[in-house]
Structure 1
């Protein structure tokens, strides 16, 4: 198998496995109020998240920053909670749309936090490899981007079915899914070992 495929699959598997439910929850929370007609915005959000993820890997693998794993494990579900709460409180409300630049930078920042969570997994997979770290990171980032697009496509199809076949309003669907996500991440946040010290 080629080096590209190895690292591309590493990125795919990072997202598309049962243990990456936090990443999948973040993606669901991010796009739940959106639909297929918002494809440009979705692509921008997903790509900015991947970019943040990649920047975090680069900064940590090259020793520019160091963050405790327990802090990252707390921050990841907090980012999910923030996005879900935002949609819970803004579902169905019309008015001034949030700035695309602001949403881009927030998503980029959250991508950095999630990228810090990928560090140990990436290090273990890359340990002893002869390929450059930079190339390996870029190849795995392409896999991450592809996997995220698959997850988002599934979420959009499910949203479409729920809203057309079962006649949920966009607002109700966003409320239900946001509450569901909050119900999953709150126990994760409260059960983090940082509180046990």
Structure 2
């Protein structure tokens, strides 16, 4: 079995590597509706995404289910597209706690889908079902740290545009969400499975 630091670095690289831009694009779309003052909400959503990701990794590692990779390659950009559209059409999205609960469930569910993308590779790294706890813990701590780094950069750029340059939050949300929706739509068309 590989040591804990191996899985920690693997998780961190999985999220923060530009080759896996789909996770970064999802985080950008997820953060587009939030201001820096709502950093607690952002952390809750990012953690929900990690929880969903880890549950999927565990279930696939124990052979509980499997979804063909060509379907997952389509579903991942679909999650980005739906998040971006949700950002634009939902008014007062971050103002009410019940809407925060909806965002939390959305991030959790979309984390399940994103976790499927890496699950077969992760499963291949494991030597046996009994050795899953340390790899899963290391990998998911690495994912969380990688996501926090990415979110820190995203929120920092948003702060620059919103607070220092003076871009209106609604315009920022529409621009960022629109760009994420456009990029994900192209990826969905490139990865359609029918």
Q: Call closer, same or farther: CA 1:5–1:96 in 2, change over 3 Å.
A: closer
Offset of 1:130 from its aligned partner?
Answer: 10
1:152 correspondence with 2:151: yes
Q: Unaligned regions of 5+ residues in structure 2, if any?
A: none
The answer to whether the 8 A contact 1:33-1:174 is kept is yes
Task: Quote the residue 1:6 is aligned against.
Answer: 6
Task: Quote the residue 2:140 is aligned against.
Answer: 141
Q: TM-score, normalised by structure 2?
A: 0.91
C-alpha separation in 2, matches of 1:95 and 1:143: 31
Does the residue aligned with 2:14 lie in a helix, a strand or coil? helix
C-alpha separation in 2, matches of 1:74 and 1:127: 26
Q: Deviations over 1:62-82 (max 9, x none)?
A: 011111111111111000000
The answer to whether the 8 A contact 1:52-1:108 is kept is yes
Higher mean C-alpha displacement, 22-31 vs 86-95? 86-95
Task: Quote the residue 2:169 is aligned against.
Answer: 170
Q: What aligned pairs does 1:83-102 form with structure 2 within 5 A after superposition?
A: 83-90=83-90, 98-102=98-102
C-alpha separation in 1, matches of 2:155 and 2:58: 31
Q: Deviations over 1:153-178 (max 9, x none)?
A: 10000001011232110110001001
Q: What aligned pairs does 1:34-113 form with structure 2 within 5 A after superposition?
A: 34-90=34-90, 98-113=98-113
Q: Deviations over 1:124-156 (max 9, x none)?
A: 4x1558981222011100000000011111000
Higher mean C-alpha displacement, 109-118 vs 160-169? 160-169
Offset of 1:102 from its aligned partner?
Answer: 2.2
Q: Call closer, same or farther: CA 1:43–1:54 in 2, change over 3 Å.
A: same
Q: TM-score, normalised by structure 1?
A: 0.90
Offset of 1:35 from its aligned partner?
Answer: 1.9
Q: Call closer, same or farther: CA 1:64–1:94 in 2, change over 3 Å.
A: closer
The answer to whether the 8 A contact 1:85-1:178 is kept is yes
The answer to whether the 8 A contact 2:49-2:107 is kept is yes
C-alpha separation in 1, matches of 2:60 and 2:9: 21
Q: Unaligned regions of 5+ residues in structure 1, if any?
A: none
C-alpha separation in 2, matches of 1:63 and 1:92: 41
Task: Quote the residue 2:182 is aligned against.
Answer: 183
